[in-house]
Structure 1
Amino acid sequence: MADGEQTAQTARNTQADGVQDAAGNQGEASEAQTPQFEPLTVTYERLRHSTDPQELHEFARRPLPDRAKQAAFSRATALLEAVAGNQHTPLEDRVFLAETMPFPNVLVKLSEDPSPEVRRAVAANRDDKNWLVGRLTKDEVPEVRDEALRNPQTSWKMRMEGAQNPEVDAQTLDFLSRLGVELEPDAPRILSTMVRRGVALNPNAGAETIERLKEDPVPEVAKAAQRR
């Protein structure tokens, strides 16, 4: 091969190598710029065991995706369950979730929180399912139980048990004594009557509550109060 031809061939080879290197570098840069998508189970476990309050705070306060984006929405609510069940999530964030979340999987986690403040917030959440509120009417902390009994989602069975429970405070008993009359006037008559009668017989009911029940429109409630 002549010297001129060899020189030209060397130049072409060098140019080709340069194109390949450039293409390779561009591919590496593109790969580096593409965010790695973390599977849901991996992210869930990482958040569930995270000890970083700031990371957990950011997830707790992050706005939820539009419900129309079903995959993203489901992923976000699932991750909130992990955040809600992690005790390294700041208390104020757990209370925030307990007050605002309508999702049963998140609220169940929070209903088992060791902080009474969090459980009380769950008990007051009107998006609760009645079975969850019913569980909280049995809570060991009186403030949590009383809050659950005042939640409109509480079943009548739980309300009747609360009306008969001498550990329920006078204020909550006063609330129960108004059901079917001043509060929830369209409530089932028999059930609301049983609740008010239970309050009338409860030794923890306040004097003003008893005096009002003496004038109850249902005779059996009024008689129970008069016997006090």
Structure 2
Amino acid sequence: MTNSVQIDYYSDVLCVWAWIAERRLSEVEKEWGEKVTIRHHFMDIFSDSHTKIPQQWADRNSWSGFAQHVRESAAPYEHAEVNARIWQSVRPSTSANAHLLLKAAQLELGENPAQQLAWAFREAFFMHAQDIGRLDVLQSICDDSNVDYQSLQQHLNTGTAMAALLSDHKLSQQQGLKGSPSWVMNNDRQTLYGNVGYRIISANIEEVLRTPYTEASWC
């Protein structure tokens, strides 16, 4: 039996399914505590939303159709509130600025504070319809979250945050991940993707904890 599980969690801050999965992340930490280590990575899903959405939703009412899809996707989940303005009148051009700052936060502050900042970014967009594609909006959220924006800026200036973000993108491609969110565990042998229920996530964690790495997991 192994003592702990490492989960590499890949997401995009503008992805509604990752917004829904925030509660599941909290439950993993609550149930499994120190037995699970979550490393957060960011995927290139909405790096150019103003090209992606009009193209992929051209025959489904474009922005309005996508906005409706997001609202309907989140509707069954009380914890995943969605503001009616997102993607309708508030249309971030990219998630890359938020991801870059979050990699800087990981480098400067560590994993947990960076994840709290990621929550703040997502909450600002999905609940309060703030355009988190804008650097000035992100800086304001950092200020409200008591995160020193200037301390993050040094990692942008030196390129270390960009290098870390590009490394995330490369890893997601190498692992053939299909989208956001993706949970990767068991030395990359198990991947859960999309709107996966908490019990499935928990069962996979339990199986990895029970199974030595020298054996193939039955889960």
Q: Tell me: higher relative CO, structure 1 or 2? Use CA pairs within 8 A at least 6 residues apart.
A: 2
Whose strand fraction is larger, Structure 1's or Structure 2's? 2
Say yes or no: TM over 0.5: no
Please indicate the TM-score interval, normalised by the length of the shorter structure.
Answer: under 0.3
TM-score scaled by length of structure 1? 0.21
Structure number, greater radius of gyration: 1
TM-score scaled by length of structure 2? 0.22
